Structure 1
């Protein structure tokens, strides 16, 4: 059985973009330097690519308005993490960056309508 195809509606796309914008500001406040956003290749997409010290940090950003279907971070399983690691290696190759340590982080944004967003950062997911 094929997995259902999810089509993002405009409000969902706007929420995702706002969540990624917030995540980038958060990372910069934490001292990371954002190098790239929404980088894609045949293996997948990297929401945010940053550097902290000599380490490449790949961030998956999940944004939701309510925990109705679970917390945002619950949407990332081991299969997704494996794909993110492969895609990070592709990013390194495409940008002709030699070997460097890579860390995969998860940024969870819970942003209820009319309320302040809540950001959680899981380092080394």
Structure 2
């Protein structure tokens, strides 16, 4: 594989996973508000509304279980990055007083026709 090609394939896999996660959430009647919000120090893959609760969703996608289940990649460091981005998003929107939670959607694509989606609600608390 040429230099840089692996990261290109990972980016494509990540986008596919985020698209699958957004479609999954919409089937559950979540309303997608924002995607791929970036700020200094962090990123949130999906911001959605579940009833009156704002949900910050981290999506992890894998092609194989060889590196472990995808949700294990949401380390304490990653949780802090997501938390920073969530606070920045809330601040920019003037929504610091809303109910919010952090979910993780873990997707394993062993077969293109049958991705395995695991949704972990309240996966972690706001991390500093």
What TM-score results when the alignment is normalised by the length of structure 2? 0.86
CA-to-aligned-CA distance 1:62-113 (integer Å, 9 cap, x gap): 0000010111001112222232222211101112224111100000000024
SS in 2 for 1:123: strand
For residues 8-46 of structure 1, what are the alpha-carbon distances to aligned partners after superposition, in whole Å with 9 as ceiling and x for unaligned? 621111111000000000001111100011000012110
Q: Map of 1:68-79 to 2, 5 A cutoff? A: 68-79=66-77
Q: 1:17 to 1:82 in 2, by over 3 A?
A: same
Tell me, which stretches of 5 or more residues in structure 1 are unaligned?
Answer: 1-6
1:37-116 matches, cutoff 5 A: 37-116=35-114
Matched positions, count: 120
Partner of 1:3: none
- Indicate if the aligned counterparts of 1:81 and 1:104 stay in contact, CA closer than 8 A: no
RMSD value, Cα: 1.8
Please report the TM-score for the alignment, with normalisation by the length of structure 1: 0.88
Name structure 2 gaps, 5 residues minimum.
124-128
Verify the 8 A CA contact 2:106 2:118 in the aligned structure 1: yes
Runs of 4+ aligned structure 1 residues displaced above 2 Å come to none
Who is 1:22 aligned against? 20
